[in-house]
Structure 1
Amino acid sequence: MTIIILRCTPLKMHCHSCALVTSSGHLMGGGRGEEIDRAECVIRMNDAPTALGYGRDVGRRTSLRVIAHSSMQRVLRNRHELLNASQDTVFIFWGPSNYMRRDGKGLVYNNLRLMNQVLPKLKVYIISRQKMLQFDELFKRETGKDRRISNSWLSTGWFTMTIALELCDRINVYGMVAPDHCSPHPPPPLPLLRALGPEECAMYISHERDRRGSHHRFITEKRVFTSWARTFNIHFYQPDWEPPPLTP
C-alpha cells in the first residue's frame, strides 16, 4: 500500500475484521461500543472522540485514524486524548500536495515532523501524491465525475473507506446513513458528535448541490459505498441497513 510514513516506509497492515466508526450522531444511545471494540481493527476519522462518555456508544479502541489536513489543529488541541491514547494507533494524514511539501513549505508536513519529534514512537503516515491521484481516478471511474472539474473535495470518509478496502477482509461501518436518507422525506436531523456541528441532512444536501468549491459529495460517495457493499464484505450498522437489490 503506497501510504508513506515520514521515514518513507510503506504501511504494512492487514485485518480480518474492521469496525469503521464515523462521527455521526446516529451512534449516540446505540450502545455498540463493546461490539466495535471486538473487531480486530477499529478505524476512526479525524478527531471523532472516544472519551468524554462516548465509549459506551463508539468504543474505546483505535487501531487506525484517518485525518484530514483541515482537522490537524483540532487533533493537536486534543493531543492528550488522540495522540497519547495508544502507542499502537496508526495515524494517516491526507491533504493537498502543497500542504504535504517536504521543502519546508508544506504546512501539514511541517507540523507532522514536529509532532513526530515530540512523540517519536507515534506511527504517523501521510498519503502520497501518487495515491491521492489514484483516489481521484477511482472516484471518476465510479461516478463518471471529475472531482477537480466539479470543484469538490473527496471526504475523509472516502479515503477511510477506500483504505479499509485495502486493509480489511470484512468492514462493519457504524453510524453511516444510506444515500437516500435525506430524501424525499428526510427524518429529523441528528447533530454530529462534533460540538456545534451543522445539521446532518442540511449539510449533506448543501454540499451535494454546491458548485463553488470547498465542498464534498457526501451523498454521491455513499451511493458508491452502497454499490461496493454488493461486491465487497461491507455491512452497515447504527443505523442498520442493507443496499437495495439492483433493479433488472
Structure 2
Amino acid sequence: MVCVCRPTALCSLRKKLFRWVTFFLLLFIMVIFYKEGCPCRGTSCGCETYISDRGISSWFDKHFNSTIEPLLTKENQEISPDILRWWLRLQLRETAPRPIHLQLFQKARKWRPTRGRRSCQCWSCAVVGNSGHLLGSGYGALIDSHHVVLRMNKAMTEGYESDVGRKTTHHIMYPESAKDLKANVVPVLVPFKPQDLIWLESVQGSFRTQKSIRAAWDKAAILHPAFMKYVHDSWMEQHGRYPSTGLLALILSLHLCDQLSVFGYGADSKGNWHHYWEHNRNAGAFRRTGVHNATFEAAVIQQLARIGKVRLYGSNHMEPRVAQATCHTATSILESILSALGICGQRSPWPG
C-alpha cells in the first residue's frame, strides 16, 4: 500500500487499519471454510463423490461406521474387555483378559491421525490382492497411478510389474506373512494374537528382525482389534471365525481413502484360487479353511462395486480408466494458502 498522506501519524493509522481489515477478512474466510469444508469438492482438485458420502445406498449406510478409528492411537489404546475377549478367541483358547494383554497395546507404537484437517486433495487408493487373475491383466501402470498402493502378505512385484505395478506405499501383514519391504513402505500389522504384538515390539526402532526381515518398523501402524471386530460384525455379519487379511485391507481403505480401486481379489478366470506368483494345485484351499468365509467376503466386495463405492477390476473385463484430476494454477495456490493456514491439508490420511 502506497501512502501519500500527511501528516505521518495519519498515514501510520491507515496502514494499521488496512492490516486489521485484512486480518479479519482472512479470519472470516477461515470460519466459513471451517463450517462448509474445503472449496474442493467438485473442482478439478477434489472428488466429485467420496466413499464416505451417505444417502447413496442404505446397505452401505447400515454397514459403514465413519466414527471408528481403524488404527491404534494414543486415544484408543485402552481396549474394552468385550473387544479383548473377542480378540483373544481368534487364535487362542484363552478368553480371560489379563493386565499383560492391555500392556501390550499400551506399549505398542501409536499412529497420529491427520484426517482432522480437511483435505483439498482427492486421495485415490489401490488395494492390490494376490489373485492369479492378475497375470496378463496389464493393470500395472493403472495401479501405480494411485496416490496410495496397499499390498498384503507375501505379495511381490519384481517380475510382474506390467500386471501388478511397481509402487507400494503401505503393506499389510502379520508375522507369519511378513516379508522384506523397502524403506519407504509403511508396514501395517494385523495382530491376530498377543504374540504378534510381542513380535512387533521386539523389532521397534530397528530395521532388522530376528528372522532377518527388513522393513521400516519404526513407521509401523497397527490395526485396532475394535476395527477388526467391527469388520467381522458389521460387514461380515459374523460369517467365518474372523475376516481375511484381504477384506480387512479393503475395509481399512474404505475408511482412509476418498476413492478406491480394487485389484486381484477372487478366483482366476478358470475358478482357481491361487497367488499370481505360484502354481497352486489345491485351488480351493482358501474356501475350505473354516476360518474365513470367502463366498460371503466376495459378495460384500461385489456389492460395494455395484453401488459405486469401489471400482472393482476383475479377470474378465477391463474397467475404463478415470484420469486423475489436475489442479488449475489458481486452485493450487488457494489450496497451498489454506494448507499453510491450517484450514485444509494436503497430507495423506494414511500413516507414514
Q: Letter of the aligned partner of 2:225 in structure 1?
A: R
Q: In structure 1, what is the Cα distance between the partners aligned to 2:111 and 2:307?
A: 31
Mapped partners of 2:316, 2:258: distance in 1: 20
Residue 24 to residue 121, structure 1, CA distance change in 2 (3 Å): closer
Tell me the distance in 1 between the aligned counterparts of 2:285 and 2:196: 26
Q: Deviations over 1:161-217 (max 9, x none)?
A: 10110111221111223xxx69xxx835363135464544x235424xx4xxxx211
Partners of 2:138 and 2:303 in 1: CA distance: 28
Q: How many residues align?
A: 203
Q: 1:116 aligns with which of 204, 218, 226?
A: 204
Match of 1:26 in 2: 133
Instruction: Tell me the TM-score normalised to structure 2 length.
Output: 0.51
Structure 2 counterpart of 1:86: 183
**SS of the residue 1:18 aligns to:** strand
Is residue 91–residue 124 contact of structure 1 (8 Å, CA) maintained in 2? yes
Cα separation, partners in 2 of 1:197 and 1:124, compared to 1, 3 Å: farther
2:232 is the alignment partner of 1:136? yes
Normalising by structure 1, we get a TM-score of 0.70
Specify which of 292, 309, 323 is matched with residue 233 of structure 1.
309
Correspondence list, 1:3-42, <5 A: 3-4=71-72, 6-12=108-114, 16-42=123-149
Alpha carbons of 1:90 and 1:11: their partners in 2 closer, same or farther (altered >3 Å)? farther
Change (3 A) 1:230 1:190: closer
Q: Aligned to 1:73, which of 165, 172, 176?
A: 176
RMSD: 2.8
Is there any run of 5+ residues in structure 2 with no aligned partner, and where? 1-68, 74-107, 208-215, 319-352
CA distance in 2, matches of 1:31, 1:154: 29
User: Does residue 275 of structure 2 align to residue 192 of structure 1?
Assistant: yes
Greater C-alpha Rg? 2
Structure number with higher strand proportion: 1
Are the structure 2 counterparts of residues 198 and 12 from structure 1 closer, same or farther at C-alpha, using a change threshold of 3 Å? farther
Consecutive unaligned residues of structure 1, counting only runs of 5 or more, are: 100-105, 243-248
Q: Aligned with 1:62: secondary structure?
A: coil
For the residue of structure 2 that corresponds to 1:187, the secondary structure is coil
Deviation at 1:58?
0.7
Partner of 1:176: 265
The sequence identity of aligned pairs, in percent, is 24
- What is the CA deviation profile of residues 31-61 of structure 1, one whole-angstrom value per residue up to 9, with x for unaligned ones? 221111011111111121112x122211111
CA displacement at 1:238 relative to structure 2: 4.0
